[in-house]
Every structure is written in structure tokens, then in C-alpha cells.
Structure 1
Amino acid sequence: MTAPYSPEERKKVVSKLPSALRRELKVRAAQLGIDIKDAVAEGINAWEASEPLPQVDTAGGGPFATYLPTGLYEGFKEDCKKREVSFAQGLAQAVRLWLDSHPATRRARRVTGARRIIFGNQKGGVGKTSASAGVAEALAEMGHKVCVVDFDPQGHLTKQFGLDLLGIDDPSLAKHMLGEVSDDLQNLLVPIEEGIFGGRLFLVPACKDAFLLDAKLATSRHVRVKETALEKAMEPLEQRFDYIVVDCPPSLGYTMDTALYYARTRDGEDEGESGIFIPVLAEDSSADAFDMLDEQIDELCGDLNIEVAQLGFVVNMYDSRRGFVATSSLDSWKAIGDPPVVAVIPDQSEQRKAVRLKQPLLAYAPDSEQAEAMRTIARVAS
């Protein structure tokens, strides 16, 4: 039987959906690798074939836009009238029906351990911390169990979550890397207690002793190959999590080498399952910093015979109103091609407000453009 419409010819549809239903749709579609517009179309087709469904509470609905096949859209509007429900109510019922018939799937634990995603760039102030936090939140929102590591002694990630840095004499990740403590690294884990993450997001906080890590690694006898220090320390956590996300310091020293080694493609892993995202700004100094990082990656891979996947550029704090410098720089990043630009995060106030209030971005402003960009990066990572 031929469908009475062409799936390729689509029409933009603007309606309203409750924020919780919108978010659940986005998350489930990402979990299952289905485009939202296709999920909504599937839901409408199922709705058309169903008996009248219970009402969905649409109070407080916010704007929702998608693209539906033109014929499907027109027929759905008519059927809503026949069932004496509003278009918004019919759409909500269709989305609810699709969600109920497409449960989230749980992936089996990987023999290679958690996937390891690092955010790094030699230049400071490019948004490594905000991207690390946002993508970790998005992955947890998608149903994954995620550990995000504040590997920067400045501790901005720890502070963004409203937590204090570890004391200089406390056990810390750096001390574990140097063999200076013997307790369980899992004792450092701090749960991020936001309902939307459902107990799936945990933080390894920063400690000021990490300022000394480069110098101590250079002379340490605890780790024979310095670059493996982070991996050896994190090993106890790997089977507990689906993803480990690392916010790297703005450094080209041993500390960054350990993070790059940790993100390498392991035996048994496909290329791109782990690797580095590179946050940049749409200006020239970011390009200079990337050249240095790219050289460091090449040298490390050559020296140790490993591969580190560059998963993509994240162009942060972008504002086209800044004119030619911003727009031409963005074009230059896109022109590189490999790695690709995977997301452009707009320079808007939601992230700054979330940091000021010490709240996760995806909890404070889940429907913002910045939150959507974090979900985009998380889909690339997954």
C-alpha cells in the first residue's frame, strides 16, 4: 500500500508541547538514534491507526517545531477535528504514544571499559569547562551513567556544580596518579543530585594539588610510562560508567599527555568511540592554540604508536553580530573538514546565569539553544 504522502516533502509545523514531554522526546530519540521529525511522524501514523486515546495534560505547553510530511500533516489536522481534539492535544497524544511504544534500551557493558571523552585546548577561556559539563549532563539525560572529571587545578567545573575543591591534604585524583594514596578512588565520587539526571551523573572534584602534577610526574617513579598515569588511576571506575568525560587544563605538559593517552582508541574499540573534542572561539588565537595541540597529539601518537581520534571542533560563544572576524573564522573552522565542526554554541546568557546560580545548564535552561548544542555534541559522542 502506498502512503498518501511523500516523506521527502515536508512542511514546518509549529505547535505547543509540555516541556517535560518535549524533553522526553528529545532524549528518547537521541537514545534510539532516530531523528525527532521521524519519531513524531511515526507517532502520528500510530495515532491515526489507534482508538481515541486518553487526554494528555498540555497545561503550560511551550513552543515546539518539527517538519512533517505534507500529506500526513494535512490528514492529521482533519482527523484531530473528527476526534474533537485540538491539534496540540492530538500531537501530544501522538508523541506520548510513540514514547510508550519505544522504550529506552540499555547497552551492555563494554569489554574495553567506559568510553572516554576529553575536552582540551591549550588556550584558556574557550569553553572547555562549560562544554564538558553540558555534554556530561546531556549524556546522563539520555540515560547513560556518566563520570565527569575536573582535571583542571583551577576547579571551575567543580565550582560550577556548587561544590568546593578538595583540600590540599585530602586524597585526590592527582595523588592517586602519583601513588601517594591507597584508598579507593570511588570515594572521591560526588553525585550531582538533580532529578533529571536520575542518579546517573557523578563528579570527580578538582584539588589544588593538581598545580604540582606536571612537575611531580616528571620525577615520579610510581608510573614508568608517565602518559599512562591517568588511565591507571581511573581504572577502578571504568566498569561502573558508560562514559567518562574529562575537562582538561589549558596545558601542553605531561598532564595533557596523560589525558590524550587516556582518550586513545584502545584495542577492541572502533575509531571515534573515544577521543577529544576541541572547544575553540571564532577568532585567530584559537587557531594558533589548535596548531600547538594538533602538533602535541601527532607527536604523542608517533612516540607511543597510538591513535587519538579528534572528534570535532566545538565553536563556543559564537555571535555573528561581531561581524567579519567571527563569521570568517567560523567558515575557516568549517573548512578544515577533518575534524569537523560538530556544534556552534551561541553566546547567550543562560550558561552564565547557570554558572552564577551553580546549577547544571540542562537543569536550569533545558530548552535553551546552548542546551540543544550540548545534546548535539552528546549525540556525536554516542
Structure 2
Amino acid sequence: MSSPASSSDREKVVSKLPGWLRQNLKVRAAQHGIDIQTAVEQGIRDWCSLASTGQPVDTSGADSFSTFLPPGQWDDFRQSATDRRVSLIQGLAQSVQLWLDANPAPDVERPEITRRVIVCNQKGGVGKTAITAGLGEALAEDSDALHPVRVAKALTKALRASESEAGETEPVEDPLDIENLPGPGLKVLLVDFDPQCHLTNQLGATPLPMSGDSLTNHMAGDPKGDLRDLIVSIDEEAFGGRLHLLPACNDAFLLDVRLSAVRAREAALERALAPLEGDYDVIIVDCPPSLGLSMDAAAYYGRRRDGERAGQSGALIVVQAEDSSADAYELLTTQIDDLRGDLQVDIDYLGIVVNLYDSRRGYIATSSLQGWVDIKDPRVVGLIGDLKEQKEAVRVKRPLLSYAPKSQQAVGMRALAREVL
């Protein structure tokens, strides 16, 4: 049946499709960046132009499906189905399958040079580990599934709201600001570079024993084996084996001392991780709250390499909307700028993430957020609320995006991932 659509020059049509076929259609249309109605229109047009009836499609369990088509197309389709002696449901299913076959899922776009993200701030407690994990999880999500993402206008709205006085309640996300998008499907390595092992523990892995091999040993030039043997997979269905972790070891407390005896110590992290880069699209380093030699090595690892475009790799700075984060930010950027000058390298800032934000904390929070927004370069690329789901995920030692995939924090992490990309 059909009825005029009041919002456009199309007409609304109602039929039935099996759930699995409707889901494949939604995902594939999103992968190609087109509306479902456009995909169905193309499929019906191509089906009507076939010389004979297409291959039968299993339509058992089909339920209501509606879309909008150009005026007259549904009538032409109905006539074609009658001529071919197939039901409208079968004809529509064949049309959708025909479009799917003609428009396969695009390949995941992989970088020519492995991208390196250094998540840093010498101030502890700002949530670097949560941002490292959330960013990596979002980048590794399945490209053949849809995930709720906060669109760019929602971040802009939140940042503008910081200019007004805090309300009595935390702002609620507008459902219209959420869009379901395919995951990036990238291969991601998370590196726990912090001797406190927070990232390792939060993701349910075991810190490396002091008596064995570690990233510290490889950086100090005293490896005891292959660094690949230390890597563990984050075995959650949402990541499909694409998300891995290099656990930390408490021996990293001694890293600065050991690096002091190493030649070209700024390149120590790069020398250790370079053999792994061919296995990953992105490597994300969770840095310790330190401004020592280990931070120099991390910043140098994130420098722009020959042939790499600006903004592909670099430092992602995590802060909170309060005054002490601003002091720490100045210290960190001074160190990075000094390293740039001393070694004559380009180290890009990928942006600022304001984490654990809650406008109910009043003027301190809102005015501090506005201060971060005013910096402009680097600009604010993420605003993550202080909500319970992240704390719960840490408690149960599970990734946030699989524990609470529809939470506001998860939605914000996906938005951050797309800003960084």
C-alpha cells in the first residue's frame, strides 16, 4: 500500500522484510553514506529492469517495513511483481538483496603509516587510562555493525552551554544528536606505559611479573624475548580480535633510571614498538603522570614521520574542568615544545579531551571548560561526562564499550574516535 508523504515529494510505502535483511540494509546503507530509501529505490529500479525473476530470498519471519519512494515507482514495482508471479514481499526482498550484492561493504581504510596516539598529562587522576581504553575500543568496533555516535553538533552544543550558568541537573543528550554509524574496524594496540598498571587492570589483564620480560626491558636494550609474546587480546565480541593490549609491569618505575644509560634514549620507545607496527593500524600509548625521560620517549614516538600528514599521529591531552589541570597542561606543553626545538621534530597536538565533566559542580567546572574551549589550538575534541558506567566497567574489569555500549560515555568515546581520525 502507499500514501502521500507530507514531508517530501516521495510517497510512503509499507510492506514486509525479514529482520536479517533489514539489518543488512541498514548497515550497508550507512557504510556507503546513503539513506535507506535511496538504497531501496535503486534496488527496486534494478530489479524491475531484470530480464527474469531473481533468486528467491527466504522471507520467513518478515515483519513490517516502510520507506519512501518516488511517486509511481511502487505501482511499477507492483506490476512487475504481478507479471513475474511473485509476491510483493518476495519482490521487495529480492530488490534489497540485489542492491546489497551490487554494493558490497567497503574495505576498511587503513593508514599507510601506523598512527601513534600518545595520551598524556603529567597530572594524575584526570582519566588518561579511561580515555586510552575508550578511544581504542571505539576505533576497533565492528565495521559491519552500527553503533550510536554523538554527532559533531552535539559536542558544539555542549561546549556552547559552558558559557551559561550551570543548571541543577546534568544536561541530557538529545536523541536527535545521536547517529548510528558503522565502527571503524581498525586493528588497535593499547600500550600500558604506566608502572601503576591501571590500563592493564581495568581491562581484566594481569600485569607482567618483575622477573620476566617487559616493555621496559626492550626500551633499555635488555630484552628477554619477543615483545609480541607479551601482547594479550581483549576478547570481546564487539572488537572481533582487533583490540590488543601490551600489559604494564611495575619495573616501569625504574624506566627513567635505566633510560639514563641508553644512547638516543628519546627513541627508546620507538625502537621497542617499531617491530609491532606492521600488525596494527593504530597504537595508543597510555602515558604515566610524569615529565621525565619516559615522557620524552613517548612524545618522540608520536612525532610526525617522513611522509606522514599533519595530525595523523601526536599527543592527545586529557584534562578536567578545574584549575590544577591547567597548571599541568602548561608543564606538559612546555616539555613537548622544548623537545620539538631540541630535536627539530614536529610533534602534533591531536586535541584536548575534557574528561569527567559535570556542570552541576558550578562555576568552577563551566568556566574551566570555557577556558579549554578558548585555547583553539589545540582545540577541544572530546567532552566526556562523569557518569557511573565507566566506574562500573572498571569495577567488573570490562571495556566500557562492551559493558555499556549505549551509555553517554560510550557515545562520546565514539565521537572522540572520529575526531581523532
Equivalent of 1:45 in 38, 49, 59: 38
Alignment of 1:50-61 (within 5 A): 50-51=43-44
1:214 to partner: Cα distance: 0.9
1:229 aligns with 2:265: no
The counterpart of 2:393, out of the listed 354, 377, 382, is 354
Q: From the superposition, tell whether residues 129 and 75 of structure 1 become closer, same or farther in structure 2 (CA, over 3 Å).
A: same
- 2: CA distance, partners of 1:209 / 1:28: 49
Give distance in 2, aligned partners of 1:27 and 1:344: 29
Residues 164-217 of structure 1 deviation map (CA, whole Å, 9 limit, x = unaligned): 211111100001100122411111110111111111111000000000101121
Partner of 2:257: 215
Distance 2:327 2:299 in 1: 19
SS in 2 for 1:311: strand
Q: How does 1:13-162 map to 2 (within 5 A)?
A: 39=33, 41=35, 43-51=36-44, 101=103, 103-107=105-109, 110=112, 112=113, 114-141=114-141, 142-162=184-204
Q: TM-score, normalised by structure 2?
A: 0.71
Matched AA of 2:246: V
**SS in structure 1 of the partner of residue 354 of structure 2:** strand
The answer to whether the 8 Å contact 2:191/2:285 transfers is: yes
Amino acid at match of 1:318: Y
What's the % identity of the aligned pairs?
48
Report the Cα distance in structure 1 between the residues aligned to 2:135 and 2:60, rounded to whole angstroms.
Answer: 30
Aligned counterpart for 1:239 among listed residues 275, 278, 283 = 278
User: Is 1:185 aligned with 2:227?
Assistant: yes
Tell me the residue number matched to 1:375: 414
SS of aligned partner of 2:309: coil
Q: What per-residue deviation string (whole Å, max 9, x for no partner) do you get for residues 115-138 of structure 1?
A: 101100011111100010011111
Q: 2:247 matched to 1:205?
A: yes
Q: Quick one: which amino acid aligns to residue 329 of structure 1?
A: S
Shift of 1:381: 2.5
SS in 1 for 2:206: coil
Give, in angstroms, the shift of residue 304 of structure 1.
Answer: 0.2
- 2:217–2:224 CA contact under 8 A, matched in 1: no
Deviation at 1:74, TM superposition (A): 7.5
Partner of residue 336, structure 1: 375
Which amino acid in 2 is paired with 1:127?
Answer: G
TM-score (norm 1): 0.78
Q: How far, CA to CA, are the matches of 1:54 and 1:193 in structure 2?
A: 33
Q: Secondary structure at the match of 1:313?
A: strand
Which of the numbers 309, 312, 336 marks the counterpart of 1:270? 309
Amino acid at match of 1:44: Q
Structure whose CA Rg is larger? 2
The amino acid of 1:231's aligned partner reads E
> Distance in 2 between the 1:28 and 1:324 partners?
44
1:307 aligned counterpart, secondary structure: coil
Instruction: Go from structure 1 to structure 2 and tell me whether the alpha carbon gap of 1:105 and 1:295 turns closer, same or farther (over 3 Å shift).
Output: same
Question: Equivalents in 1 of 2:355, 2:249: separation in Å?
Answer: 26
Decide whether the 8 Å contact of 2:119 with 2:128 is kept in 1: yes
RMSD: 3.8
CA contact (8 A) 1:109 1:239 kept: no
Aligned equivalents of 1:301 and 1:25: distance in 2?
46
Q: Which amino acid aligns with 1:103?
A: A
CA distance, structure 2, for counterparts of residue 216 and residue 57 of structure 1: 65
Give the superposition deviation at 1:161. Answer: 0.9
1:266-296 alpha-carbon deviations (Å, 9 max, x no partner)? 1110111101111110111111100000100
Q: Secondary structure at the match of 1:183?
A: coil
Alpha-carbon spacing, 1:183–1:5, altered in 2? closer, same or farther (3 Å):
farther
CA distance in 2, matches of 1:151, 1:272: 22
Letter aligned with residue 176 of structure 1: H
Query: Contact between 2:110 and 2:186, CA under 8 Å: does it hold in 1?
Result: no
Q: Equivalent residue of 1:170, what SS?
A: coil
- Structure 2 CA distance for aligned equivalents of residues 286 and 23 of structure 1: 45
In 1, are the aligned partners of 2:321 and 2:366 still within 8 Å (CA)? yes
Partner SS, residue 275 of structure 2: helix
Listed as ranges, the gaps of 5+ residues in structure 1 are 8-17, 60-72
Q: CA deviation at 1:325?
A: 1.2
Residue 14 of structure 1: aligned partner: none
Matched, 1:165 2:199: no
In structure 2, relative to structure 1, the CA distance for the partners of 1:362 and 1:188 (3 Å cut) is same
Aligned equivalent of 1:290 = 329
How far residue 28 of structure 1 moved from its aligned partner, in angstroms, is 8.9
Q: Which amino acid aligns with 1:216?
A: R
Tell me if the contact between 2:319 and 2:355 (Cα under 8 Å) persists in the aligned partners: yes
